[in-house]
Structure 1
């Protein structure tokens, strides 16, 4: 049997077709080739069109078929991964009511903070494991206040993956994992959060039926099957947010195991069997793909909004004529430390790990007689690695001490420079594997369809490509990191201006 995996990213939609027996990827397509736009109608806002995701997914599937590397009629299950925390609203006819408010949108922060104060810090942190912040529930509260005519027409509230499954099957479902990432789920009571729904005045009927991550989430409609050259009735057997799914794709399922990714955002994702809480909610715990109330599996997620987004910006700004491999080559031509140039890569919305402070992106110590575009390219990759270190230290403060991280050799980890700087500045060894989110979604579909006796069986052919360990530059990078951290703290805690003297 063949498995189809669909990954709704911020920049593009990627699909992969995987042979369930050999676990080999037979075809992989990203669409569009250029990065999809984020709609920013006001500062701090970030939206995308759900129907554009659907059109991109269909186009990617058809392009995968066009490779002629497999028989589409042999595809027997579909899995979906998706950008987390997005808000998709539909009416009773399943029509989209407004553009999706996506993960890096900052407008709902005040609503989440009000809920945190009203519900109480202890109640939130022990029941929800996180502050509501600018997660999906707070975004819905913003719509309720600012767009009441839209709110009144809402039939169901969906995450991006729920929406894609709805287009495929005509059926809306969700999961505990999805609800936990939206801050709708009470872990202590193992049910929808009475506190959140009461405070915001939400109706429970807005939430679709809850099913397991690995479960039947509907079957491919005949009209869609005909359009996509697939068999009608194929089940959607897996749905998960991109970071839990990335961990699955790396077989990171057990307590103590850690996954990382550096796509549009940068993430470290550590699995634990304890109800993890950071008192300041700078890193957040969500239900992992294999979580169950009787066998807790939580993913502690450190997210850096400004990772690949910052790398994309600097490429477009000073290296628009270069490919990403050429960007990496130019960056590697500059000495470690970028000859004093520092980058704070926080220009893609407020950062949870910085207590939702709008730090923004900055280049510091720019010397017009020394620094070239290549210095900017390297400083960005170093700055993203430094941001990972800053967040990792927060995880360490809370008792998580990973020693080895697994990552797919994709996105920024395709840069040998970035990968080695990441290792040197964090002190963590990194194992690189040939996998990505769409392959993980395909294998998740196989698990959900019962193709494997255990989840581990889905990865029995997975082989490590590379092991990176700290090298001789690690000590020098520690000094550079401390200068970078001092610069960051000056933005987080600026020295107040002296009061004007009295005449």
Structure 2
């Protein structure tokens, strides 16, 4: 039997999956690494911590799986997006990596908007947000000029790990799309953007497809991990692109709903000219010459966790949600907006906060719990609604994460989204997508779609219920009014927070 390895480089840990030709996970290993928050809003990691953790995870896979290293044909990667790794002329990091969730770059985002104007959205297809890579580069140049002077090239997190494993410098299109320096539709570094900020083309690594072969393991890495020097290494992709691949989101009409701490609605797109006016993210897919659009709810699963922790800390989630299925759509006229930490899509607003609207003396805890679940789903439906208004077909939604663990919530998603909702048998997320890129790159399948047919297994399906759909259409219209009605109130309350 032949195997591939998918490596998912996350924010808190790296996870490696050993996968066979049937798509079965034969073994897995993970290692964590620290985060550094030197100042409020800062979030950094040491790039070499990722490398050491990855090598340890690979060593565990090779030693514990009981298979011959020669049976492992390929390795590929999924990685946390946007993080900045600056390398000097010797290929060493000049400072810690600045991560996607670092918020120090508001000043640089405004500079990008002033400098590029309309070119920003026409070229990069995304607004200037603090998490993206270009604002981080400009911050380092402004506030750490000595470090920037040493920097000759930038990479993203997984690309640095791959560089240390192979000695080769590359970046795939799906991750490059999150830098604000890529011409997303043209699939090349934008000379307009680079010249606007006096960055040389040599500052950017060579671009490659996600399934592209970029090298083999360096001898010292092979020795450290127990793998063969002949093991092929493929570029990999951004975590959201790999999550889409690992969920089979590879054709028009298919959409992913992922509810973790935050929530993501991601939909496949093959039309590079489709314009969402920066209201949602538009990135290159891990599938060649394809794209995806994505909306984000900042406090998705976090909203439900907060509610449980606050009002039922000693109960299990099953106990806590008991009775929610008995409550009719609309939670008895109770509405919740999940703006606990601000919002991203469609309102990029760090000041807005959550609301319960319509609280009645007849409401019980189960009404509040259902309202929270509905409010999270309404927020995600804002993205679905924008996709459809832009002409996209959204008829099948693959649901993963916490929202896929509860049948009541899965049915609620089908009713609010007005689409068939499908759960997965064995949810492995971006790590499986990375393994699929290695499998496709190794020639196991003629296409990623053929790989998905073998690797991605659907479980239960939930069809929208006409009466519930009708009710939710009306309630969603009310939900969409709450942001505008409460924005000024939250701005007035902001000075009193945390006091």
Q: TM-score range by the shorter chain?
A: 0.7 to 0.9
The more displaced of 366-375 and 467-476 is 366-375
Q: Which residue of 1 aligns with 2:157?
A: 160
1:357 alignment partner, SS class: coil
Return the match for 1:464 from 448, 458, 472: 458
Q: Distance in 2 between matches of 1:479 and 1:152?
A: 57
Q: Which residue of 2 aligns with 1:421?
A: 412
Structure 1 position 112, deviation (Å): 3.0
Q: Does 1:430 align with 2:449?
A: no
Distance of aligned partners of 1:349 and 1:485 in 2 relative to their CA distance in 1, 3 Å threshold: closer
Structure 1 position 347, deviation (Å): 4.7
Q: Distance in 1 between matches of 2:313 and 2:152?
A: 44
Q: Which residue of 2 aligns with 1:487?
A: 482
Structure 1 position 38, deviation (Å): 5.6
Structure 1 position 441, deviation (Å): 0.8
2:404 alignment partner, SS class: helix
Would the aligned equivalents of 1:246 and 1:261 in 2 still touch at CA under 8 Å?
no
The more displaced of 344-353 and 180-189 is 344-353
1:210 alignment partner, SS class: strand
CA offsets, 1:268-310, max 9 Å, x none? 2222222245464111211112334xxxx22112222333454
The more displaced of 416-425 and 371-380 is 371-380
Q: Which residue of 1 aligns with 2:384?
A: 392
Q: Distance in 2 between matches of 1:86 and 1:124?
A: 20
Distance of aligned partners of 1:244 and 1:189 in 2 relative to their CA distance in 1, 3 Å threshold: closer
Q: Distance in 2 between matches of 1:217 and 1:316?
A: 46
Q: Which residue of 2 aligns with 1:441?
A: 434
Structure 1 position 383, deviation (Å): 3.0
Q: Does 1:81 align with 2:78?
A: yes
Q: Does 1:364 align with 2:356?
A: yes
Distance of aligned partners of 1:63 and 1:145 in 2 relative to their CA distance in 1, 3 Å threshold: same
When the two chains are superposed, the root-mean-square deviation of aligned CA atoms in Å is 3.3
Q: Distance in 1 between matches of 2:382 and 2:141?
A: 35
1:78 alignment partner, SS class: strand
The more displaced of 78-87 and 269-278 is 269-278
- Unaligned segments of structure 2, at least 5 residues: 493-499
Distance of aligned partners of 1:477 and 1:140 in 2 relative to their CA distance in 1, 3 Å threshold: same
What is the TM-score normalised by the length of structure 2?
Answer: 0.84
Q: Does 1:450 align with 2:412?
A: no
Would the aligned equivalents of 2:285 and 2:292 in 1 still touch at CA under 8 Å?
yes
Would the aligned equivalents of 1:319 and 1:373 in 2 still touch at CA under 8 Å?
no
2:171 alignment partner, SS class: coil
Structure 1 position 267, deviation (Å): 1.8
- The correspondence of residues 179-258 of structure 1 with structure 2, limited to 5 A, is 179-187=176-184, 190-258=187-255
Q: Which residue of 2 aligns with 1:27?
A: 27
The more displaced of 207-216 and 259-268 is 259-268
- The correspondence of residues 93-112 of structure 1 with structure 2, limited to 5 A, is 93-112=90-109
Q: Which residue of 2 aligns with 1:403?
A: 395
Number of residue pairs the alignment of both structures matches:
483
Return the match for 1:284 from 281, 284, 287: 281
